[in-house]
Amino acid sequence: MTRDLEPAVRDAWHVLCRSADLAPGAATRLRLLSRDVEVARNAAGTVSARLLDGEAVATREAYGHVFACLGTPAAPLFDIAEFAEDDRRLATCGAVRVRASGLRLVENFLDMAHFPFVHTDLLGVEERPEVPRYDIEIRRDVDEVWATNCRFWQPRAAASSAEGQMSEYLYRVAGPFAVMLYKTCPADPSRFDVIGLLIRPAEPDLSYAYAFVLVLDEASSETAIVHFQQTIFLQDRIVLENQRPRLLPLAPNAETPTRADMSSVAYRRWLKEKGVRYGTVEGLAGHGEAEGVP
């Protein structure tokens, strides 16, 4: 049933839901990669999942979420080392539905140039829109895309910050549909806050976004942290649902990247090298259910 999926997507780990959404004894049905998956937690607390036609699929529970792999896992679930530091607080924001390719969501997450316009007065101001040069690399050993030395001036970079700062960012694409950033922590400039966006691609042009925040922030309530992230994500969602086409084009001339888009250029190149087609314009013919894609 998963044979038509390319290995780069079939054998990768994808988020299914938050751990908290699955109580002991509960089961729920979710859409992943155009398949129905039933995920359940037994009385002992162990999570399992199967395709609706019966085949069991590999699952992992980590980082406050449940992950699944529809094929044979090509690698262990990506490691987020900061989860081992016990002075950090985890806030999970829950699922937001977005009518767009999950790949578009990742690309938006990697992008700093939109801060002044989409997150005006929160993550950027119109007076300071410049994106200084940053570095980008595809790390072959771990098969990840990294953007480093990213800097951007921000008026209110986190739930805990009241004034502006030159924020420093590291971006990390850990899977085709999993991305995170490490960002100057207002409470302790020697360490980074971690913000992640895990995407469940339900259809090529329909995604569920699960954001999480792993912060060193003792002052803000968990609800305040979640509300801040939800605010940011809903601002992005307007853009994501109104990009045309809804699927990500991999053809180099389909859109117009500039130097600020180096991370997106690298991400697209990486997707292409891996043979990712799900959620791309090029994969449209291969996957049935992308009706309504203009």
Partner 1 sequence: MRGGWCPIGLSQDLPAGIAAPVILDGRELVAWRTGEGVLRLFEDRCPHRGMRLSFGFVRGDALVCLYHGWRWGADGGCRAIPAHPELTPPKSLVVPRFAVREAGGLVWAALGDGPDDPPPETPADVRPLATLAIDLPADVVSAALGAGEERLVEKEEAGFALLLAIQPVDARRSSLHVLLRGADASPLAALDAAEALRMRIEREGAPA
Partner 2 sequence: MSLVLHDWELSADAYRARLALGMLDLPYTKVPVDVVPGRETDTPAFRALSPTGAMPVLVEGDLVLSEIGAILIHLAERHDPAGTWLPREPARRARCLDRLLFALGSLRACDAARDAALFETPSRIADPLAEARAALRVLESLLARRALAGEAFLAGEEPTIADLAAFPAAALAVDWGEDLALLPKTRLWTRRVRALPGFTTMPGVPEFL
Binding residues for Fe ion (CB under 5 A): 236
Instruction: Kindly tell me which residue out of 118, 122, 158, 174 binds partner 1, with binding defined by CB under 8 A.
Output: 118
Cα 229 off chain centre by = 13
As given in the structure block, the two tokens for residue 168 are 């420093």
Q: Considering only CA atoms, which of 192, 179, 119 is closest in space to residue 154?
A: 119
Contact 293, 285 (CB under 8 A): no
Q: How far is the CB of 113 from partner 1 (least distance, A)?
A: 4
With 0-12 CB in 10 A as exposed, 13-18 as middle and 19+ as buried, what is 260? middle
Q: How far is the CB of 294 from Fe ion (least distance, A)?
A: 23
Single-letter amino acid code for the residue at 66: V
CA distances from 282 to 8, 28, 279, 287 (A): 15, 32, 9, 10
Rounded to 5 degrees, what are φ and ψ at 83? -65, -20
Q: How far is the CB of 9 from partner 1 (least distance, A)?
A: 22
Binding window for partner 1 (CB under 8 A); candidates: 141-149, 177-185, 223-231, 242-250? 242-250
Of 23 and 117, the one with the shorter C-beta distance to partner 1 is: 117
Q: Which residue has the tokens 């700093």?
A: 112
Of 2 and 19, the one with the shorter C-beta distance to partner 2 is: 19
The answer to whether 116 contacts partner 1 (rule: CB under 8 A) is: yes
Contact 122, 153 (CB under 8 A): no
What would the x/- binding string for partner 1 be over residues 72 to 111, using CB under 8 A?
---------------------------------------x
231 binds, among partner 1, partner 2, Fe ion, none (CB under 5 to 8 A by kind): partner 2
Interface residues toward partner 2, by CB under 8 A: 18, 20-21, 92-97, 99, 221-224, 226-227, 230-232, 234-235, 237-238, 241-242
